[in-house]
Amino acid sequence: MANETARHLRTNSTNAERKLWRFLRTLRGQGFHFRRQVPIDQFVVDFACFSARLVIEVDGGQHNMAAGLRADSTRDEYLRQNDFRVLRFWNSDVIANIEGVASIITNALGLVTPTPDPSPQGGGESKPAPPA
């Protein structure tokens, strides 16, 4: 049953899920293989990286209703008990701020975006004024 549900959800993904999926696929080159609409026991999660034990959920407005909040709380607790970390983002955040969402995900994976060297801001060092 969970496999059929996952298959259906993969073919009917939201705009936000498609946008986030495009980003998550870029992480493959850094050793993080994400799957989408993945059955984990009785639940189907939006995205999962098993090697990092990370689940990412992209939520619409129904998740802000009492029933949705209860279901999400139960699901998140189950996943945490099974050694997964869970990140949740609103659809609107993924659509309007994919860079911010991507930053949170890369930080959770322990990936650091390097600062260009030399830093365009001068690297934080105080420099003497040039001679006149």
CATH assignment at residue 61: 3.40.960.10
- Asked whether residue 60 is domain-assigned, the answer is yes
pLDDT, one tens digit per residue, over 73-126 is: 999 999 999 999 999 999 999 999 999 999 999 999 998 655 455 545 555 444
Count of structural domains within the chain: 1
85: helix, strand or coil: strand
Q: Is the pLDDT at 127 greater than 60, yes or no?
A: no
- Asked whether residue 18 is domain-assigned, the answer is yes
Q: List the structure tokens of 87.
A: 């990140």
131: phi > 0 → left, psi -120 to 50 → alpha, else beta; which? Answer: beta
| Domain span including residue 89 | 2-108
Beta carbons of 55 and 89 less than 8 angstroms apart: no
What lies within 8 Å, CB to CB, of 48 at 6+ separation is: 34, 35, 38, 40, 54, 55, 56, 84
The C-alpha atoms of residue 129 and residue 20 are separated, in whole angstroms, by: 46
- Asked whether residue 115 is domain-assigned, the answer is no
Confidence of residue 70 (pLDDT cuts 50, 70, 90): confident
pLDDT of residue 29: 92
